[in-house]
Homo-oligomer: A and B are copies of this chain.
Amino acid sequence: MPRTLSYITHLQIRFSDCDPLKIVWHGNYVKYFEDGREAFGKAFDFTYLEIYSKNGLSVPLVHLEMDYKRPVSFGETISIEAKMVDDPAAKIVFEYVIRNSANQVLCTGKTIQAFVQIEKNELQITMPAFFEAWKNKFLK
């Protein structure tokens, strides 16, 4: 079993996130995944601004997948669970579960991010030292 670490944040659905079917438009879940990663990063000292400025790396998404289980509408509150999953490659892997206030699953998904050396604009294929150290401290 790979080591993992989870964080859950909450969000209230905006009117403007909903489509003519009166449910959240599917593309807006990408923002919710981003919110999940962001809240995870704040909670566990793993923020993009730090990764940029201290390590000269950007972390673009290379893969995204989502499965939609159930719709959600304006005014409801959702929970976003972002779970980092350890991976031997130089990649940041997150899995997500989004639930409504009755704890029913709305959407599950996964993202994979790569490390890019900003100055050279090159993919870094070896594990960055800061990330290895961070994982050893936080993942269980």
List the interface of chain A (C-beta within 8 A of B).
12, 14-16, 18-23, 25-27, 30-31, 34-35, 38, 47-49, 58, 60-68, 71, 73-75
| Contact in complex: A26, B74 (CB < 8 Å) | no
**What is the bound-complex CA distance between A31 and B19, given in angstroms?**
13
What copy number does this chain have within its complex?
4
Q: How far is the CA of A12 from the CA of B19 in the complex (A)?
A: 16
- Chain B nearest CB, measured from A75 CB (Å): 6
Other-chain contact of A20, B20, B30, B34, B62 (Cβ < 8 Å): B20
Give chain B residues whose Cβ lies under 8 Å from the Cβ of A62: 67-68
Q: Report B-chain residues with C-beta under 8 Å of the C-beta of A67.
A: 62-63
